[in-house]
Amino acid sequence: MLVDADRLHIAIQKNGRLSDTSRELLKDAGLRLQNGRNALTARVENFPADIMFVRDDDIPTFVADGVCEFGIVGGNVLEEFRLSSGEPAVEVVAPLGTARCSLKLAAPEASAWEGPQSLEGQRIATSYPRIVARWLEEQGVTATVVKMNGAVELAPRLRIAPFICDLVSTGATLEANGLKAVADVYDSEAVLIRTTRPISDAARAQGEALLSRIQGVLTTKDAKYILLNASSEALPAITRILPGAEAPTIIPLHGRPGHFAVHAVCQESVFWETLEQLKGAGASAILVLPIEKMMM
Ligand code: ATP
Ligand code: ZN
């Protein structure tokens, strides 16, 4: 192999909807990249890893081939790849909660959509032919899937196919092309993937360290540290309200018998409404602090 077996190789999208959040995630995990935007690779200054900037469609292949041990890619691209290559040597190690979008089936605005059976014998243009073919099979419908690599929304106007199946977040592009979304075919988010091919012990250890940091970043994203005071009678109700706090620490307050300080890590978002509920349940002196780093 050409690449250094003791360093990690991480494939991320060079330019596109995944690039910024991928770079950000690596940065939050403490990785400092050396090169600028236009390089094809970047050495990480403070961690034994190299970053490869590639087209998103190539990321599953690189990881499954073991050229890169890790990659960040859209679930939709990974799923299409999986359906095309049997059992590739790649596993999802963390859903990232970013780049959420839906692969939707769209029909001409004027058409009478009566459910998937309206597709029988029709043509559907898409960049994800295998995901669409599987969905059609699940629906028990036979239709012709036409693969397009881009500009799928133009297919009806170009008379390539009356129906399309494309990634949608707002639906504005569909509308602008005289189409309406009629069915959800696949819901996607960005995922961190890892090769299941054998790798060197050094790379494996670095991979575990990286994964643990990334999991730390993901759990602290919405996490907050809450401190509050309460009387013993109020404690059961209060601990029930604390969002996603598993085992709060309860400390007696000096000089105030029957009163306690509650400290808790809340894994879910803490809203003003949450604080109002806590206050209503008898909490006082409520403090909500951001958590910078966490390792489980
Ligand atoms: P490349 O040049 O790397 O091949 P691309 O044009 O194929 O890029 P992008 O448009 O950058 O891909 O989208 C990358 C991924 O971002 C998609 O595969 C999908 O997972 C996600 N994505 C696509 N559209 C949206 C959207 N509207 N909102 C959120 N996420 C999206
Ligand atoms: Zn692509």
| Per-residue pLDDT at 268 | 85
CA dist 279 → 19, 228, 286 (Å): 42, 9, 8
| Ligand at shortest distance from the CA of 55 | 1
Q: Which element (helix H / strand E) includes 77?
A: helix 75-84
Q: Return d(Cα 115, Cα 107) in angstroms, integer.
A: 11
Q: In the structure, which protein residues have their CB atom closer than 6 angstroms to any atom of ligand 1?
A: 13, 16-18, 55-57, 74, 76-77, 99-101, 167, 169, 188
**What is the number of the ligand 1 atom nearest to the C-alpha of 57?**
4
Hey, do 8-99+190-220 and 101-187 end up sharing a CATH topology, with the first three levels equal?
yes
Structure tokens at 171: 């639906």
Beta bridge partners of residue 54, listed in sequence order: 13
| Per-residue pLDDT at 37 | 65
Q: List CB contacts of 121: < 8 A, sequence separation 6 or more.
A: 142, 143
| Per-residue pLDDT at 6 | 86
Q: List CB contacts of 251: < 8 A, sequence separation 6 or more.
A: 260, 261, 263
* Domain 8-99+190-220 class in CATH: alpha beta
Q: Return d(Cα 37, Cα 56) in angstroms, integer.
A: 16
Top mutation candidate among 167, 174, 187, 189 for ligand 1, by most atoms within 8 Å of CB: 167
Whether 70 contacts 84, CB under 8 Å: no
Question: Which amino acid residue places its CA nearest to atom 12 of ligand 1?
Answer: 16
- Mark the residues whose beta carbon lies below 5 A from ion ligand 2: 56-57
Whether 239 contacts 285, CB under 8 Å: no
CA 79 from chain centre, in angstroms, equals 14
Å from CA of 16 to ligand 1 middle: 6
Q: Return d(Cα 16, Cα 77) in angstroms, integer.
A: 14
Dihedral sign of CA atoms 168, 174, 175, 179 in order: negative
Structure tokens at 222: 């919405």
Q: What pTM was computed for the model?
A: 0.89
Domain 101-187 architecture = 3-Layer(aba) Sandwich (3.40)
| Per-residue pLDDT at 1 | 45
Beta bridge partners of residue 42, listed in sequence order: 51
Fold of 224-290: Alpha-Beta Plaits (3.30.70)
Å from CA of 167 to ligand 1 middle: 8
| Per-residue pLDDT at 2 | 53
| Per-residue pLDDT at 36 | 66
pLDDT in tens, the chain (296 residues): 456 778 999 999 999 999 999 999 999 999 999 866 678 999 999 999 999 999 999 999 999 999 999 999 999 999 999 999 989 999 999 999 999 999 999 999 988 899 999 999 999 999 999 999 999 999 999 999 999 998 999 999 999 999 999 998 777 888 888 999 999 999 999 999 999 999 999 999 999 999 999 999 999 988 999 999 999 999 999 999 998 888 899 999 999 999 999 999 998 888 999 999 999 999 999 999 999 888 87
Beta-carbon-side half-sphere exposure of residue 205 (alpha carbons within 13 Å): 6
Question: Which amino acid residue places its CA nearest to atom 18 of ligand 1?
Answer: 74
Whether 92 contacts 110, CB under 8 Å: no
Beta-carbon-side half-sphere exposure of residue 83 (alpha carbons within 13 Å): 13
Q: Which element (helix H / strand E) includes 266?
A: strand 259-266
Annotated domain spans of the chain: 8-99+190-220, 101-187, 224-290
| Ligand at shortest distance from the CA of 166 | 1
End-to-end Cα, the chain, rounded Å: 35
**What is the number of the ligand 1 atom nearest to the C-alpha of 189?**
20
Q: Return d(Cα 152, Cα 140) in angstroms, integer.
A: 24
Tell which residue, 175, 134, 177, 137, has the closest CA to residue 155: 177
| Per-residue pLDDT at 171 | 76
